[in-house]
A and B are shown apart, each in its own frame.
Chain A
């Protein structure tokens, strides 16, 4: 019996890190403290558009002066981690699917979608084989004259 207790205590000392314990209340704060630092040191992938703007000044200035100024570059081009050092180019993506996220018309007047100009992202507006950016500049989407 005593032996078992000793074995258990020794095993506990070996297996359980010293920073494992109560850091606050027993109910909610019983943990290994180093894990907080582990979570905090996860690499950041989305860099934010001021980083993009430091090189792609032209695109940055264009979009900031347009109705798309609210949209982050990385929403359309993917996370900037490693770019341009290891990731030479970020994708310029499938514009149809990108644009359809906001511009597909949905009959929901009570939702935020109602305040964005909505279209049917298929033909005839955007005939098959054409991308949205063939007619609209994604960085400067201005109303086009009726064709």
Chain B
């Protein structure tokens, strides 16, 4: 169908094109351009919804976990042990200014200004009241001027509609069967689209592998029944992980039955990382 249009176009006489003709042709071109996309969607749409696959999905849903994360920001003290554990567990070079997870400090002053920092991704915690404003400079804030201040741990949201996966041109990043978004390092060409597409800034280039890098919820640990390194390291249970497909899972129950929030819900990414004690200052 789409092959016909380009050949037909040059044959038309030029110069004497009527308004009616013009509109008609434009209509055909538009239809021709849109048709393949529509057809594709139809084919893949039908494929996705085929009854055999739906049945398969229904049976695996019970056995295959779907991981979700719960952050209680009220409990975070900013010790940064989660970041330390994550970097060491997952071979992210310790001195590199890049990390799969990080902790933000939000200091809101009484004049309404929000100061946010995460020095070295909070690998060494927060051991000074001075705010890191980059380039080795710090900002001193008078304790009297602070309206509120708190810590917010951040990590990949393992979105159910991950924009990072949609933009990958080579199929190197994907949502795995347990809901965790992974990167195939042998397949990744390092184009960086996914890094730009993530609204949460959760992706970066791995300084050694030169491929896109991100939190895997410690896939190698959770698949063996262990906790992710950051969850195990957190002394205050500010970080927890749960399995949505396990009806006895306490964390999944909290997420399902209590008041939790997600980051940037307006992006429609359906994040699987849920927060307790989030402030409207936190994006």
Interface residues on B, range: 35 or more
A52 to chain B, nearest CB (A): 13
State which of B48, B127, B176 has its C-beta within 8 Å of the C-beta of A100. Answer: B127
B150 engages A31 (CB within 8 Å): no
A141 vs B271: C-alpha distance when bound (angstroms):
40
Does any Cβ of A come within 8 Å of B102's Cβ? no
State which of B149, B166, B174, B224 has its C-beta within 8 Å of the C-beta of A106. Answer: B149
Q: How many residues of A contact B (CB 8 A)?
A: 45
Known: A30-B171, A46-B85, A46-B89. A23 touches B177 (CB 8 A): yes
Does any Cβ of A come within 8 Å of B44's Cβ? yes
A30 vs B118: C-alpha distance when bound (angstroms):
34
Stretch at the interface among A5-13, A83-91, A108-116, A131-139: A108-116
Stretch at the interface among B28-36, B202-210, B233-241, B247-255: B233-241
Known: A28-B165, A44-B226, A48-B226. A111 touches B76 (CB 8 A): yes
A70 vs B221: C-alpha distance when bound (angstroms):
21
Known: A32-B187, A100-B125. A112 touches B151 (CB 8 A): yes
State which of B81, B149, B150 has its C-beta within 8 Å of the C-beta of A75. Answer: B81
Closest to A46 in B: B229
Does any Cβ of B come within 8 Å of A140's Cβ? no
A114 vs B47: C-alpha distance when bound (angstroms):
55
Chain B residues with Cβ below 8 Å from A46 are 85, 88-89, 229, 232-233
State which of A25, A75, A78, A101 has its C-beta within 8 Å of the C-beta of B127. Answer: A101
A30 vs B221: C-alpha distance when bound (angstroms):
24
A112 engages B233 (CB within 8 Å): no
Does any Cβ of B come within 8 Å of A97's Cβ? yes
State which of B74, B148, B184, B219 has its C-beta within 8 Å of the C-beta of A31. Answer: B184
Select the residue from B129, B148, B175 with max chain A CB neighbours within 10 A.
B175
A100 vs B126: C-alpha distance when bound (angstroms):
8
B77 engages A113 (CB within 8 Å): yes
Known: A35-B184, A75-B85, A113-B78. A97 touches B220 (CB 8 A): no
Closest to A31 in B: B174
Closest to B174 in A: A31
Does any Cβ of B come within 8 Å of A26's Cβ? yes
Does any Cβ of B come within 8 Å of A129's Cβ? no
A75 engages B174 (CB within 8 Å): no
B221 engages A44 (CB within 8 Å): yes
B127 engages A112 (CB within 8 Å): no
A103 to chain B, nearest CB (A): 9
Chain A residues with Cβ below 8 Å from B232 are 46, 48, 72
Within 8 A of A (CB), among B102-157: 107, 124-129, 143, 146, 148-151
By Cβ-Cβ distance, the 8 closest A-B pairs, closest first, are A101-B125, A31-B174, A107-B143, A42-B220, A108-B149, A70-B235, A112-B77, A101-B79
Task: Known A-B contacts: A101-B127, A111-B149. Give 15 more (CB < 8 A).
Answer: A22-B47, A24-B177, A27-B166, A28-B165, A29-B174, A39-B182, A42-B219, A44-B224, A100-B127, A101-B78, A104-B126, A106-B78, A110-B148, A111-B77, A113-B78
Interface residues of A (CB under 8 A from B): 20, 22-32, 35-36, 39-46, 48, 70-72, 74-75, 78-79, 97, 100-102, 104, 106-108, 110-113, 115-116, 121
Interface residues of B (CB under 8 A from A): 44, 47-48, 57, 74-81, 84-85, 88-90, 107, 124-129, 143, 146, 148-151, 161-162, 165-166, 171-177, 182, 184, 186-187, 216, 219-221, 223-224, 226, 229, 232-233, 235-236, 238
* Residue contacts A-B, CB under 8 angstroms, 27 given: A31-B171, A31-B173, A31-B174, A31-B182, A39-B176, A39-B216, A39-B219, A39-B220, A44-B89, A44-B220, A44-B221, A44-B224, A45-B88, A46-B88, A46-B232, A71-B81, A71-B235, A72-B232, A75-B233, A75-B235, A79-B89, A97-B127, A100-B125, A101-B80, A104-B128, A108-B148, A121-B127
